[in-house]
Amino acid sequence: TIGELKNLKVIDLDFNSLTGTIPENLYELSSLRQLDLNNNQLTGTLSSRVGLLSNLSVIQVDNNKLTGTIPSELGQLKQLAVGFFSYNNFTGLVDEGICELREPEGNLGMLQVDCVGENPEVECQCCSSCRQPDETGGSLRKLVEN
């Protein structure tokens, strides 16, 4: 299984029409530096176990069908430089611990979530950009840089 690949540093499976949930044993890959699963059809939640990926510097799970909250455990990832979570069905507040990873104190230069509109699904006080699907549910997107 994927959890046995202990020295794996990069998973780049974007634009592969993947379905289902993110395998729980993926969070056992302690050497993982980059996790690109964007532009698929993944469902379920992003597990709080993502905080175990202590070497992760890039996580891109945008353009999927993920639900729940953006895990506060991401705030444990001191190497995190890029986090793309937009165009999913996340809700709630981006945790202050994640915000503390933002530059200039931390490494997190890019943090994108769906936090634009009259009633945004995600509240984010520290995102580098907020995105919103268009009103028709189509692929046209609105981007607000912070």
The closest of 19, 3, 48 to 11, measured between CA atoms, is: 3
pLDDT for position 139: 41
Cis peptide before 23 (omega within 30 of 0): no
Q: How many whole angstroms separate alpha carbon 89 and alpha carbon 91?
A: 7
Q: Which residue has the tokens 């430089």?
A: 81
DSSP at 78 = T
pLDDT for position 134: 55
> Which token pair is 146?
């912070």
Q: Which residue has the tokens 């793309």?
A: 84
pLDDT for position 145: 54
Residues in the chain where the model's pLDDT stays below 50: 135-142
Cα torsion 121, 92, 90, 85: sign: positive
